[in-house]
Amino acid sequence: MPEGHDAVIEAIEREFGDFAGSGGVAARDLDSGETIAVNADATIATASTIKVPILIELFRRIEAGDVALDDRYAVTEAVRAPGSGILRDLSLGVELSLRDFATLMIVVSDNTATNLLIDLVGIDVVNQTMADAGFPRTRLLRRLDFPDIGTDARRLAVTTPADLAGIMAALANRTILSPASCDAILDIMRKQHYVDLTPRYLPYFPYGEELGRSDNGLRIANKTGGWHGMRADMALIEWPVGGRQRRYVIGVGTEGDPDTRFWAENTADRLIGRVSKIIFDHFGGSTLTATDAEASA
């Protein structure tokens, strides 16, 4: 094992051991193949991380010529859902492209956009695509119909930390779809607005380029999930080192947290941030310094 591997496992186990609920994580260095795994095969709720498999199925349908990103659909009462997103607060009948619905589903975790895309691609088809790709433990069970789900996130969808990391690796290595589709999905995920989990304690400044400020090159493509007493995240993390990209993937989830508040200081949010930082430092991120932009932000 690489130097420090056992110490990383022990540090993560201590973090989960001090947590009132349960948790697991899987991470893989895409260059060396080193894997970090703690409770990586445990079944967990996905919450909104299931939106990445839905997006993958949408792009599979696009590749097949069944739909196109520029196809337009209207928001109806049948798909409108409470919870995260902005479409719930807009007028019924607003019409957007599939590209826009896909972006909203990921970057602000829009539940209304998600229901529309689930209806378009089909629950069983999403599950078959995941099984065919080697992720049979990742299963979408229903639309985002909250009276049916209640506070039990497993009624929506289930997965494992290993599957979450594996899906991100398949996107990063361009094996789950065409290279163009994988790149398009990752481009959407890099626009993520929710960065309180995996990126939480990393020297990540996503707005440096557009503000014309210094940038350490750290890029994160992630999708979070949160429900009553649970959190999850899946991410590709990369930065330049010596003319190449340093890359690793991570899938992480927690359940049973007595802190059920939806706020940035949630216990599980901070736990996932700490576990992420341990793995980031082990994979070489400790040498990546914060930029002047971050220090003054």
Percent pLDDT > 90 in the chain is: 87
Structural domain contains residue 292: no
Structural domain contains residue 86: yes
Percent of the chain that is helix, strand, coil (3-state, to 5): 40, 20, 40
pLDDT for 215 equals 81
Round to whole Å and give the CA distance between 55 and 152: 23
Residue 287 has pLDDT above 90, yes or no: no
Round to whole Å and give the CA distance between 91 and 139: 32
Structural domain contains residue 291: no
| 267-282 helix and 5-17 helix, angle to the nearest 10 degrees | 180
Residue 294 has pLDDT above 80, yes or no: no
Sign of the Cα torsion 62, 67, 71, 76 reads: negative
Residue range of the domain that includes 211: 5-285
Structural domain contains residue 45: yes
Listed residue (36, 3, 18, 32) closest to 277, CA to CA: 36
Domain count, the chain: 1
Q: What is the mean pLDDT of residues 138-161?
A: 92
Q: What is the mean pLDDT of residues 179-195?
A: 97
Structural domain contains residue 290: no
CB 17 within 8 A of CB 94: no
What CA dihedral angle connects 266, 13, 280 and 251, to 10 degrees?
Answer: -70
Q: Looking at per-residue confidence, does 64 or 212 come out higher? A: 64
Residue 296 has pLDDT above 70, yes or no: no
CB 165 within 8 A of CB 44: no
| 111-121 helix and 123-132 helix, angle to the nearest 10 degrees | 80
Q: What integer best gives the mean pLDDT of the chain? A: 94
Structural domain contains residue 295: no
CA gyration radius for the chain? 18
pLDDT tier, 236 (very low <50, low <70, confident <90, very high otherwise)? very high
Q: b vs e for 119-128, b when ≥16 Cβ sit within 10 Å of the residue's Cβ?
A: ebbebebbbe
Residue 133: CATH number of its domain: 3.40.710.10
Q: What is the mean pLDDT of residues 184-193?
A: 97
Structural domain contains residue 293: no
CB 126 within 8 A of CB 159: no
Phi and psi, residue 137, nearest 5°: -85, -5
Question: 126 is written with which tokens?
Answer: 């999403």
- pLDDT digits over 99-139, tens only? 999 999 999 999 999 999 999 999 999 999 999 999 999 99
Question: 30 is written with which tokens?
Answer: 């895409």
Structural domain contains residue 296: no
Q: Looking at per-residue confidence, does 210 or 216 come out higher? A: 216
